[in-house]
Amino acid sequence: MQNHSETIENYRNILSKLPPNVELVAVSKTHPAEIIRQVYDEGQRVFGENKVQELVEKQAVLPKDIRWHLIGHLQTNKVKYIADFVDTIQSVDSEKLLLEINKQAEKHQRKIKVLLQIKIAEEETKFGLEISEAKELFLDYLNGKFPNVEIIGLMGMATFTDNEQQLRKEFSVLKQVFDKLSLQRDLKTLSMGMSNDYPIAISCGANSVRIGSAIFRHRNYA
Ligand SMILES: *Cc1c(COP(=O)(O)O)cnc(C)c1O
């Protein structure tokens, strides 16, 4: 049994630093349900996971009012496992995936909220749509192509770096795209910023941050 007091302390500390308009997605991947439960008991309701199987297992044993966000790359053939309960899929990186989400949502007679993940990092490894692809998808959406999804915003991951100027540049690109698309249809969520860069992301306009290790890490992990 681990001592969770450090996680709770981290959680409270981060919450106290976030501006009131910024949503916290607590990224609980790799951490057991019992620790998630403790953060839940502090009042947190939005959690993020990056793997379908892990998400399904945790969802089964944790309170049903948790709003689960899928934040990692999602394979088309796995959408069906989460379609009946997932709150938001943050990592839409292809039209094929969006079509499948739409199809599975229709099966369950619901709408699934999604974010379009846009590639803003210089690194080659990051998934995401090119800006031009995202604009086209959004246009198709506005024209009614995906009636069972609701595109509520954009998500991006910056390059893993300490270079603040670089981070600002990348986050600002996403903010500009967000503002531009918002002129066509009001968007709610701009998800950018993780443990190492969330204060910068917020100063660049993020209103949702995905924070994992800064909450769940333990000193004895290090
Ligand atoms: C793991 C992960 C995070 C959280 O990263 P931390 O550095 O642990 O805060 C955020 N977004 C995505 C897409 C992730 O996979």
CA distance 26 to 129: 24
Confidence band for 218, pLDDT divided at 50, 70 and 90: low
Residues within 6 Å of ligand 1 by CB: 27, 29, 50, 71-72, 157, 194-196, 210-214
- Res 176: pLDDT: 98
pLDDT for residue 18 is more than 60: yes
Ligand 1, from 30, 50, 217: best to mutate by most atoms within 8 Å of Cβ? 50
Q: How far is the CA of 27 from the centre of ligand 1 (A)?
A: 6
**Mean pLDDT of all residues in the chain?**
95
Q: How far is the CA of 29 from the centre of ligand 1 (A)?
A: 9
Mean pLDDT, rounded, for 185-203? 97
In angstroms, the Cα distances linking 202 to 7, 43, 69, 206 are 22, 22, 19, 4
The answer, as to whether pTM is greater than 0.85, is yes
- Res 221: pLDDT: 47
Residues of the domain holding 96: 4-221
Give me the residue label for tokens 């394979």.
75
CATH number of domain containing 17:
3.20.20.10
pLDDT for residue 161 is more than 50: yes
Task: Name the domain count of the chain.
Answer: 1
- Res 122: pLDDT: 86
Task: Please count the residues of the chain.
Answer: 222
